[in-house]
Amino acid sequence: METSIKNIKKQGKKKENIILKIEKDSIAEELGIEVGDKLISINGQEVKDVFDYRYLINDEYIELLVEDHNSGEEVLLEIEKDYDEDLGIVFETGLMDNARSCSNKCIFCFIDQLPKGMRETLYFKDDDSRLSFLQGNYVTLTNMTQKDLDRIKFYHLSPINISVHTTDGELRKKMLNNRFADRINDYIKQLADCGIDMNFQIVLCPNINDGKNLDKTIEDLSKFMPHAKSLCIVPIGLTKFREGLFKHTPFDKESSAKVIDRVSYYQKIFKEKYGTNFVYVSDEFFLKAERAFPEIDYYEDFLQYENGVGMIPLLCYEVDEYLKEVSYKDSNKKLVSIATGYSAYNTIKMLSEKVMDKFKNIKINVYRIRNDFFGDSITVAGLLTGTDIINQLKDKELGEYLLLPDALLRNGTMTLLDDIEICDIEKELNIKIKITQNTGKSFINNLLDLED
């Protein structure tokens, strides 16, 4: 690598890409770039966001214009490096830009069903294609211009995750309350034509986008294979805070079973024609329908795992496999507890019994927490609050420690949705808490107090 530095006269106000961290032994460290400095441009081009940055630094010779945070002077840095060599700069925001918020008013939006008074970040609706690429978020593509779409194609942001809900343009405009929502089919076609892979999502609402409309949506999206990689169908989630919102009917046992059967029909067709199931329903449908989960190979590459497709069957499989190899030598009797939501209760109870069958000296109490905060129709563990956990466990026999799933926590913190901290729960219940990941190994190791 070769570098040179030139001081130049500062010219006007520039976009502030403030540097948060410099990686050790990096090009940036060698150049003397410091935390607090601002990146102005690369090769004379403004850096709007992280994708501009990544694209522009991929060259053997680049010129960085940086503003020194001490002197305010702009310094031109000339760098010769390997083509794909990183500079070692971390910026204040991962996007190097503000995340774009959603302008839709979807009739199924969960954020609109949150009560007032929660922390401000919970009410932010992101609909940013860059976050789809970086973090796996789903975007509707409604808050985009053709210029935005061309930028996705130019940078070849792949894969991208798209919330479709329906391919019927008129219905989609009504469901999203956005007059531009009917562009979805054209946008998907443009992305497929550029070779960009896509995963799709449908939030299914009874008597709205199900039935024949669901058939059409599945068939329409399947035409974009092989770049259409997967389609997930999740049931609408309804909290008790719906005053003034669209009136929905929740899924029950019978309607959930019909969705599973409908999807199974298409899976057989796609498996024979394309060698993949392509379309899946979330685990919640199987739980509501009281149906047994499919075998593990049904889920193929688990492309829709984060949408709750295959989470429970994979956990069960991993527990069975890990129980075959794990050893536990502590002969002392112990009592531990687990708290979970209503949806996963039967599964967690069954898995706990398997652990107790192998290790006779451990007793596991499994408690299901009713969601009083959002309403009892919300049954997933990830939406439980600290308040409900404390209120419903304060008189229970908990033993040496209490296991809680990491799905309760938000953004890598130890905070639950109602701003209750794990340490607050420990204090109120006078119990040590262990956070378990959604893997068989983590589940068993935390129960046995082994290193994960």
Q: For the segment 290-307, what is each residue's pLDDT rounded down to a tens digit?
A: 999 999 999 999 999 988
Return the pLDDT at 14: 43
CA–CA distance, 182 with 187 (Å, rounded to integer): 10
Return the pLDDT at 62: 93
**Cβ burial, residue 409 (10 Å; 0-12/13-18/19+):** middle
Task: State the residue for tokens 């708290």.
Answer: 339
Residue range 78-136, pLDDT digits in tens: 999 998 888 998 876 655 555 555 677 898 888 788 887 776 666 555 555 555 555 56
The C-alpha R_g of the chain, in whole angstroms, comes to 25
CA–CA distance, 55 with 122 (Å, rounded to integer): 32
Residue range 166-207, pLDDT digits in tens: 999 999 999 999 999 999 999 999 999 999 999 999 999 999
Residue closest to 233 by CA, chosen among 276, 166, 168, 279: 279
**Cβ burial, residue 182 (10 Å; 0-12/13-18/19+):** middle
CA–CA distance, 157 with 183 (Å, rounded to integer): 19
What global pTM score does this model have?
0.80
- Give the Å distances, CA to CA, from 295 to 34, 274, 312: 53, 20, 11
Question: In the chain, where does the domain assigned CATH 3.80.30.10 lie?
Answer: 111-309
Residue closest to 409 by CA, chosen among 386, 388, 426: 386
Question: In the chain, where does the domain assigned CATH 2.30.42.10 lie?
Answer: 2-91
Residue closest to 20 by CA, chosen among 96, 117, 112: 96
CA–CA distance, 312 with 182 (Å, rounded to integer): 35
Q: Is 280 within 8 Å of 254 (Cβ atoms)?
A: no
The CATH number given to 2-91 is: 2.30.42.10
The architecture of the domain spanning 111-309 is Alpha-Beta Horseshoe (3.80)
Return the pLDDT at 155: 82
Q: What are phi and psi of 2, to 5 degrees?
A: -125, 140
Question: In the chain, where does the domain assigned CATH 3.40.50 lie?
Answer: 317-448
Return the pLDDT at 326: 92
Residue closest to 389 by CA, chosen among 344, 432, 428, 350: 428
The alpha carbon torsion through 151, 152, 157, 159 (nearest 10 deg) reads 180
Topology adopted by domain 317-448 = Rossmann fold (3.40.50)
Determine the Cα angle at 29 with ends 26 and 30, to 5°.
90
The pLDDT profile of the chain, 452 residues, written as one tens digit per residue, is 555 555 544 444 445 788 888 999 999 999 999 999 999 999 998 888 777 887 888 889 999 999 999 999 999 999 999 988 889 988 766 555 555 556 778 988 887 888 877 766 665 555 555 555 555 678 888 877 888 888 888 888 888 899 999 999 999 999 999 999 999 999 999 999 999 999 999 999 999 999 999 999 999 999 999 999 999 999 999 999 888 889 999 999 999 999 999 999 999 999 999 999 999 999 999 999 999 999 999 999 999 998 899 999 999 999 999 999 998 887 788 999 999 999 999 999 999 999 999 999 999 999 999 999 999 889 999 889 999 999 999 999 999 999 999 988 876 688 898 889 999 999 999 999 999 999 999 999 999 988 76
For residue 353, give the H/E element and its range: helix 342-358
Return the pLDDT at 296: 94
